[in-house]
Homo-oligomer: A and B are copies of this chain.
Amino acid sequence: MSKKVVTLGEIMLRLSTPDFKRFVQSDSLEVTYGGGEANVSAALCNYGLNGVFVSKVPNNAIGQSAINHLRRYGVDTQFVARGGDRLGIYFLETGASMRASQVIYDRAGASIADVDASEFDFDKIFEGADWFHTTGITPALSDKAAALTLAALKAAKAKGVTTSIDLNFRKKLWSKEKARVVMTELCQYVDVCIGNEEDADTTLGFTSEGTDVTKGELNLDGYKSVFKQMKDKFGFKYIASTLRESHSASDNGWSALVYDGNEFYHSKQYEVRIVDRVGSGDSFASGFIFGLVTGMALGDAAEFGVAASALKHTIPGDLNHATLNEVKELVKGDGSGRVQR
């Protein structure tokens, strides 16, 4: 029977310019929906799991469209609350070469920020669940959303559900200082912690010296030092991070480092020609969770996550539509891109 994974978080309306146009040039915007946690839920459904998404959207046609987008890809949306004022929006302009992609967030006042834990029946939500996942974005949205996140983590732990968090610091949502207070509390209830380069520092205060993210050079030793500190403080079962070498907005190196408290595993590194890199971190998280929840060894789960997210870079939109079989084939080594007839 397929595993049940619950995720909690935001889903936003994504409005992106077509054909590498800049915002000031665009007279139309492409519409899709996504968000760090929604992306994870949809990807897990895509691999055949039972993904349940918990959130809140406004009771209008835009909120309904967000739900519809998730349903289209198989997500169980029965626990999404309706109410509040608006769906958060983010505007995206896709970069190329030395021109970076731009994201303009317009998420203040979103329904999910005006939420109360009582709107959700966690007993029912976590009934039979195998995993619970959320990210550092949700608690950053508002104090209410932070309280909800904490309540959900506690409820999950009380039900014996494995929990994971992707640190995902968003500097426009809150300060480092506030993030550290909130995230430190939340991490008490987390089994698996995922964090990219800067997040461990900004949200938990662990410093990984020597990585200048604008250079695209990796500093594995720094990562290892940080992972050990995280393990010591929080006792996470597993810690994982993707490693991006950002050569340009068009080409990136991509791999992951995982740690179980004893050994480090650095995955294969892919060189990706980018179509759309938004959601690539989420696609790693979902692939990694898929691996762990279906019983893969840590290194295999990391390889699955990295291959899945390498493929995500080639797919437009927030969601990862790479199939289970495609990920498996890439893990096995076929990246030749030959036409499949």
Q: From the candidates B32, B170, B250, B338, name the one contacting A27 in the complex (CB within 8 A).
A: B32
Distance from A69 Cβ to chain B, minimum over Cβ atoms (Å): 7
Cβ of A81 under 8 Å from chain B: no
Distance from A213 Cβ to chain B, minimum over Cβ atoms (Å): 6
Q: Is the CB of A216 within 8 A of B336?
A: yes
Q: Which of A61, A103, A104 has the most B CB atoms < 10 Å from its CB?
A: A61
Q: Is the CB of B273 within 8 A of A96?
A: yes
Q: Is the CB of B15 within 8 A of A15?
A: yes
Mark contacts of A228-246 with chain B using CB atoms, 8 A cut-off: 1 yes-contact digit, 0 otherwise. Answer: 0000000000000000001
Q: Known interface pairs A61-B93, A337-B99, A338-B246. Does A316 touch B24 (Cβ–Cβ under 8 Å)?
A: no
Distance from A338 Cβ to chain B, minimum over Cβ atoms (Å): 5
Counting contact residues on chain A (CB < 8 A from B), the size range is 35 or more
Q: From the candidates B29, B321, B335, B339, name the one contacting A101 in the complex (CB within 8 A).
A: B339
C-alpha spacing A191/B93, complex, angstroms: 39
CB neighbours (8 Å) of A95 from chain B are 314, 337, 339
Q: From the candidates B105, B273, B317, name the one contacting A341 in the complex (CB within 8 A).
A: B105
Residues of chain A in range 83-113 having any CB-CB distance to chain B below 8 Å:
85-86, 89, 91, 93, 95-106, 108-109
Cβ of A65 under 8 Å from chain B: yes
Q: Is the CB of A316 within 8 A of B61?
A: no
Residues of chain A in range 266-316 having any CB-CB distance to chain B below 8 Å:
270, 272-275, 277-278, 310-311, 313-316
Cβ of A214 under 8 Å from chain B: yes
Q: Is the CB of A73 within 8 A of B68?
A: yes
Helix, strand, loop or mixed for chain A's interface?
loop
Q: Is the CB of B275 within 8 A of A96?
A: yes
Q: From the candidates B22, B109, B213, name the one contacting A336 in the complex (CB within 8 A).
A: B213
Q: Which of A20, A272, A273, A341 has the most B CB atoms < 10 Å from its CB?
A: A341
CB neighbours (8 Å) of A27 from chain B are 27, 30-32
Q: Known interface pairs A246-B338, A278-B339. Does A22 touch B315 (Cβ–Cβ under 8 Å)?
A: yes
CB neighbours (8 Å) of A272 from chain B are 97-98
Q: From the candidates B22, B61, B91, B337, name the one contacting A97 in the complex (CB within 8 A).
A: B337
Cβ of A60 under 8 Å from chain B: yes
Q: Is the CB of B104 within 8 A of A60?
A: yes
Given contacts A23-B61, A24-B64, A99-B314, 14 further A-B contacts (CB under 8 A): A18-B19, A20-B315, A27-B31, A28-B31, A61-B93, A62-B91, A86-B108, A213-B336, A214-B334, A214-B336, A215-B336, A216-B336, A249-B314, A250-B273
Chain A contacts to B: CB under 8 angstroms: 15, 18-32, 60-62, 64-65, 68-69, 71-74, 85-86, 89, 91, 93, 95-106, 108-109, 170-172, 213-216, 246-251, 270, 272-275, 277-278, 310-311, 313-317, 321-322, 326, 330, 333-341
A/B interface sample: 7 pairs, CB < 8 A: A23-B64, A28-B28, A28-B30, A97-B275, A98-B311, A249-B338, A250-B273
Return the 7 tightest CB-CB contacts between A and B, nearest first. A249-B337, A23-B61, A98-B335, A72-B72, A97-B273, A99-B314, A246-B336
